[in-house]
Amino acid sequence: MENVLIKTNHLMKKYGSVSVVNDLNLEVKGGEIFGFLGPNGAGKTTTIKMLTGLLNPTEGEVFICGYDIRKRPIEAKAVMAYVPDQPKLYNKLSAKEFLILISSLYRVPKDIAQEKAEQLLDMFELQDRSDELLESYSHGMRQKVVLAAALIHQPKVILLDEPTVGLDPASARLLKDILQELAKQGAAVFVSTHILEIAERMCHRVGILNAGVLIAQGSPEELRRKIGHGEESLEDIFLELTGGKESAELIKSLEEE
Interface residue list for other proteins (CB under 8 A): 45-46, 49, 52-56, 73-78, 80, 82, 84, 86, 88-90, 92-93, 97, 100-102, 104-110, 112, 116, 119-120, 123, 125, 128-129, 132-133, 135-139, 142, 151, 153-154, 170, 173-174, 177-178, 181-182, 185
Shortest separation between residue 55's beta carbon and other proteins, angstroms? 7
Q: What angle do CA 191, 163, 44 make, to 5 degrees?
A: 50
Q: How does 156-189 read in b/e, with b if 16+ C-beta sit within 10 Å?
A: bbbbbbbbbbbbeeebbebbbebbeebbeeebbb
Kindly give the residue spans of alpha helices, DSSP state H, lying in the chain: 44-52, 73-78, 95-105, 110-123, 139-151, 169-184, 196-202, 220-227, 234-241, 245-256
- Distance (Å, rounded) from C-alpha 98 to C-alpha 126? 13
Which residue's CB is nearer to other proteins, number 126 or number 206?
126
Q: Which is nearer to other proteins, 148 or 199 (CB)?
A: 148
Parallel, antiparallel, or unpaired: how do β-strands 33-37 and 205-210 relate? parallel
Minimum CB distance to other proteins, residue 3 (Å): 17
Which residue's CB is nearer to other proteins, number 142 or number 224? Answer: 142
Closer to other proteins by CB, 110 or 229: give it: 110
Distance CA 158, CA 152 (A): 12
Work out how close the CB of 144 gets to other proteins at its nearest, in angstroms, rounded to a whole number: 12
Residue 98 beta carbon to other proteins: minimum distance, rounded to whole angstroms: 9
Name which of 82 and 238 has its Cβ closer to other proteins.
82
Tell me how far, at minimum, the Cβ of 188 lies from other proteins, in Å.
Answer: 14
* Centroid of chain to Cα 1: 21
Q: How many CB atoms lie within 10 A of CB 71?
A: 10
Pick from 190, 135, 206, 192: nearest CA to 5: 190
Q: How far is the CB of 216 from other proteins (least distance, A)?
A: 25
Q: Name the residue nearer to other proteins (CB basis): 60 or 73.
A: 73
Q: Compare residues 163 and 220 and give the one whose CB is closer to other proteins.
A: 163
Q: How far is the CB of 17 from other proteins (least distance, A)?
A: 16
